[in-house]
Amino acid sequence: MLTVCCTLMTFWPASANGQQTQQVRDAMHRAVQFFREQASCEGGYIYQWSEDLTKREGEGKVSETVAWIEPPGTPAVGMAYLEAYRRCGDPVLLAAARESAGALVRGQLESGGWDNRIEFDPALRPKYAYRVDETEIAPTKNRKRLNVTTFDDNKSQSALTLLMELDRELGFNDAVIHDAVFYALDRFLQAQFANGAWPQRYGMQLRDEPPVADADSSLAASIPSQWSR
């Protein structure tokens, strides 16, 4: 809906009257308002909702305090906002994209990337090693917390892509987003194998330990001749 509305606004013929243009703009604003006020969880999104919004799903049922990473979750919706903003320049769209980016920043792990979900419930967040919460959980840093960055199904990659694209759109002037981008890039590079590949996922038990790449690995890429499935 967002892309369709903004495409219409971008390529609307010069002869179109102001009423028609306003109708398209109003439709876009209604769609964005619905997503932000009714479907969003603090700027984050999931796969799908029931018509009455009472049932929420990512890869399975999720609570109302959870946002999902894997497309078509939070990064995908944020990119829709950003691409729509690039087409028509409406500030409402940029604000929505920044809101989704803010959700991703709150979901970035100390290992650098993202898990499959972001938990916003204050009572449950201490189970995760969220980077923005590190000052609050420093006294219990020795407790094992979920801190696994995953590249599976375009999760961390899509989150970082949105942050990078928005960072560029903002002229690299949003310090929080800019810092999150470079923190992720640095950790991703540290996790790279010696043969150039990356693991499906990697983790850190403590904030002070960097991801450990297999520096001695020389295994070449290959395709198995047989697969049990």
> Rounded to an integer, what distance in angstroms lies between the CA atom of residue 111 and that of residue 184?
8
**148 bridge partner residues:** 203
Q: At what angle do helices 18-34 and 2-11 cross, to 10 degrees?
A: 160
Mean local confidence (pLDDT), 39-49: 94
- Position 136 scores a pLDDT of 55
- Position 212 scores a pLDDT of 57
Q: What is the pLDDT of residues 178-212, one digit of tens each?
A: 999 999 999 999 999 888 889 999 986 544 455 55
* Choice among 7-16, 27-36, 67-76, 80-89 with the minimum mean pLDDT: 7-16
* Choice among 5-9, 46-50, 150-154, 218-222 with the minimum mean pLDDT: 5-9
Contact partners, residue 18, CB within 8 Å, separation at least 6 = none
pLDDT over 90 percentage in the chain = 63
Mean local confidence (pLDDT), 34-39: 93
Pull the structure tokens for residue 197. 């590949």
